[in-house]
């Protein structure tokens, strides 16, 4: 149960647009003492920071340990798309959680966005928040499916405006010829994720959470009181939360085989002239298509086009992310042929076999809680999972946690060495089906 200690610049934030534009990056101390707390949280991303914040709001003492920097992982380098939904279609889980459970999950996908909205407002976090999102159809069949999606949102009482946009009107949404239509949703949007997680960490610290960076966990000793051992200190706590997601490694083998780290990559252009930026995305929306290897993009606050996607399952990053991503950008926006790329970076997201997040507690050690495997929907779902974990730890029960835990999750076969190649083959099969459809 060890977690490798990062070395050198690997411990610092990725050289991303977010790190370059977040302003001064606050620092927190290294754990260098033996401490006690009600709860120890491992992981300084959205899951860990928000769980710590929620617990502190409920009056519990919390210590958070981050192996690198707060927001170092996917939480501080993702596409910044704040989009409703838990992930892929949850209706197939009815046999596990019942129809009421499915309705709960669908509502959670909506209400989780409101949790982020409220957190930003409550703590006055400046994170470039803009409302508006369009789901993009790559085929007429996908566009036709938006009708039932829109109807389902209405059945759930979705209060934000939605509108289907046909192919002839897509110029109102995006200056690209590759889409068969879209579903406009003004209840989702986009933001600067690193600014958000750093703001939430400041809020947690103001409530008494003790945050430690550059403090990788070396060993867990389970028991009624969990011991979390680092190189220069140990935390003893009644409860433990694992919020490591794609970076869990083998720290907790009961969980590590259920999530596969997959690479995702982003580029940003140089700042665009206002007229060009407005032409590309007239309503300053977040946009995302429906492909297996999806594209997602938006404008930043300083009018750069931020373009991401190309989920990579091989375990190897491209040698040149900019060269890898630029053709994908130009397929959507050929008019950007002469625009420079200013930033390029990648990171790992946690993928589960059923594309559904894993939120629960260990059966063998019921004082150990976890949330992981958001499969690309982490910005909102992390905040919802954090609330469920805090409820369960504080009161001993959470209906939402029970519903999430009711969905079974398989362990990727083959051990660490074979998990990535096996998933890569599986995703290749899905992409071939997509091409041949």
The whole-number average pLDDT for the span 50-60 is 98
Phi/psi at 72 (5° precision): -65, -35
The β-bridge partners of 360 are 370
Q: Is 49 exposed, middle or buried (0-12, 13-18, 19+ CB in 10 A)?
A: buried
The answer for residues whose C-beta is within 8 angstroms of residue 344's C-beta and 6 or more apart is 265, 266, 267, 268, 320, 321, 322, 325
The pTM (predicted TM-score) of the whole model is: 0.93
Whole-number mean pLDDT of the chain?
Answer: 92
Domains defined along the chain, listed by start: 8-77+194-258+354-406 (3.50.50.60), 130-190+260-351+414-437 (3.30.9.10)
Q: Provide the pairing of β-strand 130-137 with 35-42.
A: unpaired
pLDDT of residue 261: 86
Residue 423 scores a pLDDT above 60: no
Residues 235-265 have pLDDT tens digits of 999 999 999 998 998 999 999 889 888 889 9
Residues 147-202 have pLDDT tens digits of 999 999 999 999 999 999 999 999 999 999 999 999 999 999 999 999 999 999 99
């Amino acid at each position: 149960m060890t977690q490798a200690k990062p070395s050198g610049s690997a411990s610092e934030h990725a050289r991303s647009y977010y790190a370059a534009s977040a302003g001064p990056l606050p620092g927190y101390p290294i754990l260098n003492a033996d401490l006690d707390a009600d709860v120890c949280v491992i992981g300084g991303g959205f899951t860990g920071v928000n769980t710590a914040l929620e617990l502190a709001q409920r009056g519990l003492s919390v210590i958070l340990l981050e192996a690198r920097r707060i927001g170092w992982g996917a939480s501080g380098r993702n596409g910044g798309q704040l989009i409703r939904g838990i992930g892929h279609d949850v209706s197939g889980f009815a046999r596990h959680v019942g129809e009421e459970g499915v309705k709960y999950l669908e509502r959670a996908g909506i209400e989780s966005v409101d949790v982020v909205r409220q957190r930003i407002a409550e703590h006055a976090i400046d994170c470039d928040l803009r409302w508006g999102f369009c789901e993009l159809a790559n085929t007429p069949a996908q566009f036709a499916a938006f009708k039932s999606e829109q109807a389902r949102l209405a059945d759930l009482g979705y209060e934000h405006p939605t509108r289907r946009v046909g192919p002839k009107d897509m110029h109102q949404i995006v200056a690209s010829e590759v889409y068969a239509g879209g579903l406009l949703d003004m209840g989702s949007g986009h933001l600067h994720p690193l600014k958000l997680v750093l703001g939430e960490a400041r809020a947690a610290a103001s409530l008494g959470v003790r945050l430690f960076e550059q403090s990788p966990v070396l060993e867990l000793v389970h028991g009624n009181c969990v011991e979390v051992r680092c190189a220069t200190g140990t935390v003893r706590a009644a409860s433990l939360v694992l919020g490591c997601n794609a970076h869990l490694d083998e720290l907790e083998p009961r969980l590590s085989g259920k999530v596969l780290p997959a690479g995702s990559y982003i580029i940003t252009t140089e700042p665009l002239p206002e007229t060009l930026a407005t032409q590309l995305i007239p309503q300053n929306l977040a946009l995302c298509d429906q492909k297996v290897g999806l594209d997602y993009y938006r404008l930043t606050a300083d009018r750069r086009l931020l373009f991401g996607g190309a989920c990579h399952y091989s375990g190897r990053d491209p040698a040149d992310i900019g060269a890898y991503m630029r053709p994908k950008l130009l397929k959507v926006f050929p008019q950007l042929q002469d625009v420079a790329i200013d930033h390029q970076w990648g990171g790992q997201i946690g993928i589960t076999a059923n594309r559904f997040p894993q939120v629960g507690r260990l059966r063998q050690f019921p004082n150990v809680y976890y949330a992981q495997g958001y499969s690309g929907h982490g910005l909102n779902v992390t905040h919802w999972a954090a609330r469920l974990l805090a409820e369960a730890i504080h009161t001993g029960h959470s209906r939402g946690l029970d519903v999430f835990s009711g969905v079974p999750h398989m362990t990727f076969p083959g051990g660490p060495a074979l998990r990535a190649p096996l998933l890569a083959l599986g995703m290749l099969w899905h992409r071939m089906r997509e091409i041949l459809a």
